[in-house]
Amino acid sequence: MSNFVLVLDANRKPLNPCTPGVARSLLRSGKAKVFRRFPFTIVLNKAVDDKPLPMQLKLDPGSKVTGIALLQEEKVVFGAELIHRGQQIKNALESRKALRRGRRNRKTRSRKPRFLNRTRPDGWLAPSLQHRVETILTWVNRFCRYAPIKGISQELVRFDLQQMDNPEISGVEYQQGTLFGYEVREYLLAKWSRKCAYCGTENVPLQIEHIHPKAKGGTNRIFNLCLACEPCNIKKGTQDIEAFLKKKPDALKQILVQAKRPLKDAAAVNSTRWALFNRLKQTDLPVETGSGGRTKYNRCRLELPKQHYIDAACVGKVEQLTVLTQQPLLIKAQGHGTRQMCGTDKYGFPIRHRSRTQIHQGFQTGDIVKAVVASGNKVGIYVGRVLCRASGSFDIATKDGRVQGISHKYCQAIHQKDGYAYSF
């Protein structure tokens, strides 16, 4: 089932979301109109005095994808997955840095260095990290305008449930409680891409494996742990990894490199979680927090599939959960374009210039359009972000790929440019 439809009254007051069938009935009868396509929101023709049921907005912040879920009375009525563009920002800044350094070396070689003249304020984050915080805040504010949000839940800290249940717990009992091992398992699942390190098998139960056998002095440090399926774990036994993989030198080299590789994505999340938490508190809504281990514990206990918006729904305190949507809205951050007027090749030489005019034939790059082509070589219906040209021949980026050479005459705007692409 798809997401519920968000509803506003004539005064833009958020109401209880409705099912797609009810929304179609209201639109067909003329009692409501489409207010926004993504997320799909309708506005009623009259004001409503009824008090809507409170909703909880839950977030599972990630380095590449952030899960978003809207809950009402322990029911997931809306799910979304926000795809970040931090790596694109990093690459763009590095390209700009290389071009500037090359120009300075050519033009102002004798200029005194000024790298110590600039100071960074407290709490400064790199642009690729700050982007993650800002995009999440953008969507939190949007959902607060379209739904009766009364609280926010964020995956942030590790809750000590054992101490809550028994304040006098200590020693080994304290360490091996209900959530024992969940944080380490989640780290290893992310680090080894949920595959067996030895054979690459996916979608099977995986076990924690010591690269250097514990029987021969191996430790429980995280760099000595990997994931293995049961047959590989049994076959390796207490052998050294060099002996076990002596016929697979490439696999051996890859595992040894992977074991020492830090989790870049985990570092990004750790760097931004407190900044996001402090910004969420500024919304004046109560903010609940929960650990990653508790999120996974809730999801496994309720036997729910592994998806980003499902993880978001399992953040914090969860007793029961009913998932009413199976088709989350995929939101991909695309940015608002670039101010660069002169494009360069990889060596920094100018190769193209763009016009200052951004709107062509009533469209601008980034608008989401629907093109119905009835004749010619490109017969079909195309929906996606449009790339505009002054000639009137547009390109449309659909979920199946990029379609070139679509005339503006076939295009109909369905969503104005807002820096994001949408799909299901």
Can you point out the beta strands (E) in 104-210?
149-155, 206-210
More confident call, 178 vs 106:
106
pLDDT at 169 over 80: no
Per domain, the residue ranges of the chain are 5-44, 177-264, 352-418
- Confidence band, pLDDT 50/70/90 cuts, at residue 271: confident
**177-264 matches 352-418 in fold:** no
Instruction: Kindly state the tokens that stand for 221.
Output: 């440090």
Q: Are 56 and 71 in contact (CB under 8 A)?
A: yes
Q: Which long-range contacts (CB under 8 A, 24 or more apart) does 180-184 make?
A: 182/292, 182/293, 182/294, 182/296, 182/297, 183/158, 183/291, 183/292, 183/293, 184/208, 184/222, 184/225
Tokens 């290893």 appear where? Answer: 188
Burial (CB count <10 Å: 0-12, 13-18, 19+), residue 177:
middle
Nearest to 321 by CA among 129, 88, 20, 58: 58
Phi-psi region of 197 (alpha: psi -120 to 50; beta: other; left: phi over 0): alpha
CA distance 352 to 344: 7
| Distances 288 to 30, 151, 396 between C-alpha atoms, Å | 40, 8, 41
How high does pLDDT run on average in the chain? 86
DSSP E strand boundaries for 296-387 = 322-323, 329-333, 342-344, 350-353, 359-360, 363-364, 368-373, 380-387
- pLDDT at site 183: 65
Band (33; pLDDT cuts 50, 70, 90): very high
Tell me which CATH code domain 177-264 carries: 1.10.30
Whether residue 263 has pLDDT greater than 70:
no
Query: Mean pLDDT lowest for which of 184-193, 371-380, 415-424?
Result: 184-193
Is 72 a residue whose pLDDT tops 60?
Answer: yes
Asked whether the predicted pLDDT for residue 47 surpasses 80, the reply is yes
- Burial zone of 191 (CB within 10 Å; 0-12 exposed, 13-18 middle, 19+ buried): buried
- 117-134: average pLDDT: 89
Average pLDDT over residues 360-372: 91
Report, as an integer, the average pLDDT of 217-223: 77
SS3 content of the chain, % helix, strand, coil (to 5): 35, 30, 40
- Confidence class for position 1, pLDDT limits 50, 70, 90: low
- Return the top range by mean pLDDT from 204-218, 241-255, 301-315: 301-315
pTM of this structure: 0.76
- pLDDT above 70 (res 119): yes
- pLDDT: which is higher, 247 or 45: 45
Which of the listed CATH numbers 2.60.40, 1.10.8, 2.120.10, 2.30.30 matches domain 352-418? 2.30.30
Share of the chain above pLDDT 90, in %: 45
- Mean pLDDT within 397-408: 90
Residue 341: is its pLDDT beyond 90? no
Confidence of residue 406 (pLDDT cuts 50, 70, 90): very high
